[in-house]
Every structure is written in C-alpha cells, then in structure tokens.
Amino acid sequence: MSGVHVTTTVNGDPVEFVCPADESLLDVLRDRLGLTGAKEGCGTGDCGACSITLDGQLVCSCLVLGAEAEGKKITTVEGMADGENLHPLQRQFIDNAALQCGICTPGFLIAAKALLDKNPDPSVEEIRYALAGNLCRCTGYDKIVRAVQAAAKDLQKQNRK
Amino acid sequence: MRYESPTTAKAAVDLLSKEKGKAYVLAGGTDLLVRLRMDMIEPDLMVDIKNIPAMNEIKKTPSGGFKIGAAVSGAKLGANKALKKAWPGVVEATNLIGSDQIQGRCTMVGNLCNASPAADSVPAMIAAGAKANIVGKKRRTVPVEDIVTGPGKTSLAKGELIEAITLPKKAPKSGDAYLRFIPRTEMDIAVVGAAVSLTLKKGVVEKARVALGAVAATPLLVKEAADAIIGTKLDDEALEALGAACSAACKPIDDKRGTVEYRVKVAGVLAQRAAKIAYERAGGK
C-alpha cells in the first residue's frame, strides 16, 4: 500500500501508522488502531459521534485526514478513565441513565469534557449550546444535560480537595 | 490522492500550480472533506495549508487593522479579544458556522472559497471592507466581494490561493453586525444573512456598507442600501429605505429553506435589525 506514514500521540501514547492519503482519522482510529470508541454517525460533521480532541481542540474525526495527525496530540474516549476509575462524566452518564443505545455517548463525553475544561460551571443553556454538535436520538437530551450538570459539581468538589 | 503539507506559501503555490490533475487546498476541511467522503470530488492532490506558520496567525497590521491567516479556525478567531472588540460582526458571523466541533476547524477563508451563497462570514467580511491577500505567480490583493463569482465558483486562478484576510483599522465611532435567519437557534444554513458596517460623525451615519447572503448566486454588496442610511441618524424613514433597498437587491431562489417572496421580505427586516446593532455599537443613540 502506498500511503502516508504518520507519527502521533493518542491518549498520551506514541503511535505510528501508515494510511492512504484520503483516509479519515476516524477510520484510522477505528480500523488501524483498534480504538472503536469514536463512532461514525453521519460522516459529514453533523452528528458529533466521532468527536475527539486534536491538540486540545474538539473536532469531528470524520472531517480530519489521518495524514493531518502528524505530530499532534489526540485524545479519544478511551483516554478518559483513569485506569479502573471512570471519569466523573462517565460515572454520571451511567447514574443519570443518560444513554440508551450508546452510539452517541463517546462523542457526548468528549464534547462535554471539552466544555467543562473551559467552563467548570456551565448553565443549562451553555451546556445545550456546547453539545449542539452532538445528536442523540434516544434520550431527548434532558438526561444528558443533567449528567453534565452533576459531573460539573463532582469535578468542582474534586478540585476543592 | 497525494497529501502534501508544505511549510511556506511559496511551496504551496508551487505544488498547486505544478499539479496536472485536480488539486485542492485543505484548510479546516469542514466542507472539502465532506465532499471527499461523499465522492463529490476526486482529488489528485490535497495541499494542507495548516503547517504554514503565517497562515495560522492573527496579526495587527502596521496601519492598525488585522491580518487573519487562511488557516485560523473559528474557535481561534473567537478567542481573540482585540479582534472581537474591533470587528464583532465579522467574528460573530464566523462563529455562527456549525457546532463547537466545526468551529475547531472551519476557517473564514475556507468559508469564502467554498463559495456558498449562504456562507455566514462572507457578508460580514464584505460589509467590513475586508480584502483577500492572494498568493500565486504574483501577489495580489482584492476586495472580498470580488472572490465569489457563483455557487462554488471563485475568481482565483489555478495555482492561486488566499493567504490571509485583512480587515481595515476600525474607525472611531464605527460598528459592525451580522444577523442570519434560520428556523432554529443554531446548526443550520442561512435562509438570509445581512451584515452592516457603519461609521458615525456626530450621530449621523457618515459611511456605511451593507451586504446580504443567501439571496442571490453570490453574496451581495448593496450600495443602494448603504446610500439609504448615509447622512441619516438611522431614523424610521432611513430604516424603511434601507429595508426597501435590500429587498430590491435580492435575486433569490425558491428552495426548502425559503421561498423567493419570503427571502426578499426577510432580507429587508434583517438588514434593518443589523443596522440598529451596528449603530449602537458605533455609539449612536
């Protein structure tokens, strides 16, 4: 296969891969690196199921080429938990039943974390705007918003300690 | 397809001009990679401009304006306080594009070169008097309104690309605003977009530029609309004339987002509202 050789960092680990120049980073993550957390919902940047961060910036990995990952720092949902300990967002998504089928969940978790990293105490409106790029056809969003509010409180408590 | 990631504008121009097949410039990729994935394009070469340092910068120009590199994302634009203070309409228009995920990648120059009639940042740039700095065989600078020639079509020649957008120095007592109409609160394509930039002298509009989006094959600079408010204190009569001039300039299509009749009407209303915001931002009462 003729392709692009890429050296990058995924969830803190150095990673190398070779991919065709037109392959998306989403396909690289899923099919070459075995990180199947990010999902393909639409492939056009509308649904957010493929959300990751690239050098700290929230993006849709379906609209990034694998080749563009050279020298970048990527985080995916697989990097959220600390070993066996779930991230407060993951814990609260479970406790609030903020998922049903779960396809959108990794994208919501990544987008919600990007929000809380910037704004530790968001209003409901701010949460809804920040998650507007993530679609969920099961929950009706209310439970997701509640889970993010609860996780924000948990993180504030954690940071006070 | 080949992927190239040059580190200078000159290298990017060389790659684009020497390519015999179909070559595309990749900035944020939020339009281009959608078209690639939907098999609407079959590129032979994609030239990623994000590793060209100058194209990632927002810089003050010697004359007090701003130079915004072609690879600067909407998120980065929105985080620049000085730019937001000087040209809030331009920044707000760009920040209306898509979700936070899209904002992390999308660029003003990409929005311009994608050449959609409904592009949000383009009317705001036109109203602000923005210029496109083009690199190619020769460097040239043209007003933003001269770039888009039709849906998906630009005046750029083969081997040319826009390196940056320059915004003029914000004049004292000036303000700009962009409003778009969509049937929901966000994440949609403009039914109509309207941008107004104006400068006041003793409370009277001295200079103005009015631009409309999604009401013709290209974004429109509407001189008659600007003339309708110049020399006025933006009273009801002036606003009425502004709205009428905007409606008269529209040459829209009927589509699922809006009918011709609706777009013509809304263009006038939105331009009036945008003008009021710009007037307030300029310090007018």
For residue B130, the SS3 value is coil
Which residue among A54, A68, A130 sits closest to B48, beta carbon to beta carbon? A68
Q: Is B269 exposed, middle or buried (0-12, 13-18, 19+ CB in 10 A)?
A: middle
Which amino acid makes up residue A131?
L
Residue B285 has pLDDT above 90, yes or no: no
Query: pLDDT (tens digit, 9 = 90+) per residue, B9-46?
Result: 999 999 999 999 999 999 999 999 999 999 999 999 99
Contact: B29, A22; criterion CB under 8 Å: no
Taking residues A118-139, report their average pLDDT: 96
Q: Residue B201 maps to which CATH number?
A: 3.30.390.50
- Interface contact flag, B1 A68, Cβ < 8 Å: no
Read off the pLDDT of residues A69-88 as tens digits, 9 standing for 90 and up: 999 999 999 999 999 999 99
Which residue in A24, A59, A65 is closest to B101 by CB distance? Answer: A59
Mutate to test the interface with B, among A1, A46, A60, A109 (most CBs of B within 10 A): A60
A vs B: CB pairs below 8 A: 85
How many structural domains does chain B have?
A: 2
Find chain A residues with C-beta within 8 A of B79's C-beta.
none
Alpha-carbon separation of residue B19 from B5, B158, B159 (angstroms): 14, 10, 9
Q: What is the mean pLDDT of residues B80-106?
A: 97
In whole angstroms, give the CA distance from residue B158 to residue B100.
33
Q: Is residue B2 part of a domain?
A: yes
In a domain, B166, yes or no: no
Residue at a domain's end among B47, B63, B78: B47
Q: Do A58 and B101 touch (CB under 8 A)?
A: yes
The lowest-confidence range among A155-159, B173-177, B270-274 is: A155-159
Q: Which of the pair, A130 or A160, is modelled with greater confidence?
A: A130
Q: Where are the alpha helices (DSSP H) in B147-199?
A: none
List chain B residues with CB under 8 Å of A28: none
Give pTM, 2 decimals: 0.96
What percent of chain A is predicted at pLDDT more than 70?
A: 99
Name the token pair of B208. 């103005």
Which 3 state secondary structure label does DSSP give B79?
A: coil
Residue of A nearest to B185 (CA): A129
Chain A residue whose CA is closest to B76: A57
In a domain, B145, yes or no: no
B50 min Cα distance to partner chain A (Å) = 9
Q: Which residues of A touch B73 (CB under 8 A)?
A: 57
What domains sit in chain A, N to C, each tagged with a CATH number?
4-79 (3.10.20.30), 88-160 (1.10.150.120)
For residue A21, the distance in angstroms to the closest alpha carbon of chain B comes to 5
Q: Please check whether residue B218 lies inside any domain of the structure.
A: yes
Say yes or no: A51 contacts chain B, CB-CB below 8 A.
yes
User: pLDDT by residue (tens digit) across A5-29?
Assistant: 999 999 999 999 999 999 999 999 9
What is the secondary structure of chain A as a DSSP string? Answer: ---EEEEEEETTEEEEEEE-TT-BHHHIIIIIS----S--SSSSSSS-TTEEEETTEEEEGGGSBGGGGTT-EEE-GGGTSBTTBPPHHHHHHHHTT--SS-SSHHHHHHHHHHHHHH-SS--HHHHHHHTTT---SSS-SHHHHHHHHHHHHHHHHHHH-
Which has more confidence, B285 or A121?
A121
| Closest Cα in chain A, distance from residue B1 (Å) | 6
Pick the closest to residue B66 from B50, B51, B88, B48 (CA basis): B88
Judged by CB atoms closer than 8 Å, whether chains meet at B101 and A111 is answered as yes
Answer yes or no: is pLDDT of A1 > 70. no
Decide if B207 is inside a domain.
yes
Q: Which residues of B touch A129 (CB under 8 A)?
A: 186
Longest dimension (CA), chain A: 52
Chain B CB within 8 Å of residue A102 CB: no
Per-residue pLDDT tens for B103-155? 999 999 999 999 999 999 999 999 999 999 999 999 999 999 999 999 999 99
Interface test with B, best of A5, A65, A115, A141 (most B CBs within 10 A): A65
Q: How far apart are CA B148 and CA B145, in angstroms?
A: 7
- Closest B-chain CA to A126: B100
Q: What number is the ipTM of this complex? A: 0.95
What letter does residue B72 receive in the DSSP assignment?
-
Domain residues for the domain of B16 are 1-47
Q: Does the residue B255 lie in any domain?
A: yes
Asked if B187's CB is within 8 angstroms of A63's CB, the reply is: no
Q: Which residues of chain A does B48 touch, with a Cβ-Cβ cutoff of 8 Å?
A: 65, 67-68
Q: Which of B9, B31, B47 is the last residue of a domain?
A: B47
